Structure 1
């Protein structure tokens, strides 16, 4: 099983961000981290966790680097017996708050992979996105992480932004690959309701030809293993989601999954602190689980097991193989163009 821990505190709110994160709740950090420990103890029993059964841990947000390492310690002390030997333990971080002391403290706790929210190495683009750091801050943070002992480092880039050009995106790629990273995530800017960008939707201006060129440039250096993820190292946590493994979702606004049930802790941070065991559940139908497996499988190297498909769906998948849009191998269908993944999934299930 996997474990996701949500940290809802942020040092700044980006213009595109719709995640459950807040810049004005830092006074709740200590009580929130205690509430996480309460929920964790409960979930370990619910999921019937055994020694070594937690394969990966991912701390996301929000901004995990806004919480001092010592506040994470009780969680790690509880988790330690359940974490598989050699498990991937990742944390997101922002360049401006990932200080040397924070990185060293997290490394000492057992975190072995850091994913930085860089988004761009162009300062004007960073300002447009509402990021709190500049290009030099981003590069320095990645180097600090390397110095702290981290062997697996990743960063995010955003494309499809108004005024993106080949020159700008080529610069982002070149600067990223100057750094000691073994993984890169690239996301198209999307406009979400309730964000500052919602009132200026034209700021998201993805052009298919530019997207294809950009992703192809990344793939010259890193192999792609999902529509938005590339690397010499493949995130085991990401793969676990796409393989439809069970996962504990810890914290306000997190999501968990157990067998055929999705679990939703309360979103409101104060309400979560008051009652971290107030968790809503949603029983998923076999049809909806199958749809998820098809969509996630075609967006990644996981592929789709032919045995979950009906005869009619297998016939459509076979047609896509004949048209060279899918690859069939050892009882699974694999997609060789992730940009077409949703259309292919819809065609199979229609």
Structure 2
């Protein structure tokens, strides 16, 4: 082939290659869509802790944050969305009124909308709810109204099945995993008040036991694995152990005083919330291995309240 003919053939081919390369740079492949961890519930789901002045504020130190950090290492596209609300009960999670949600009447309504809008992209939904049904006035660990708590237990039994069923209906695919938890008893610390506080501690333990039985029953029926936080806090273990600075106490009391703000003096305490996020439920084993949820062995919290 004459030289000028070879050039005529080669020129269009080179031009096409150049256009193709330019097009590749001009139209990059879009990044993979994000995946979500949706956190629902009460103050524990938003890491609520008291400040030095005693004001309760959400933090990034809750069990959800710990779970998210662990999961993101193996799922880099995972994003955390918190819809939890400090002070939320099963009743207000359904009806609203505690926290405001744009375009939604309640936390559950907002969660259902989110699941519908991100169908196929939500990988995990965590839920902790019910404490404020039975401990509505329990910021100070010196009083517990068992009659009020019994009313709250009836609310849990009536409302929680509605919550779990609506969440399931909004996320019917097998790709979405659910996880829940029962509760520790922060009012065990009242036993340190002597004869004045011991009835409160005893009544609260009875209330928490009954509430946890209800929670576990409802969650199990809904197919939500349950992190046994009550066991992790040794709620029923009265083995004598030594609490530095105080002396020998039942293990359940020592654990609560160590891992929550319940025996912290004013103005920071007393407060029922955990002081160390690492002692709350560890969902990682259940999520990664599909085995029963586990709670790490409680130990003395690092530092002081």
TM-score by length of 1: 0.33
State the structure with more CA Rg: 2
Judging by fraction of residues, say which structure has more strand.
1
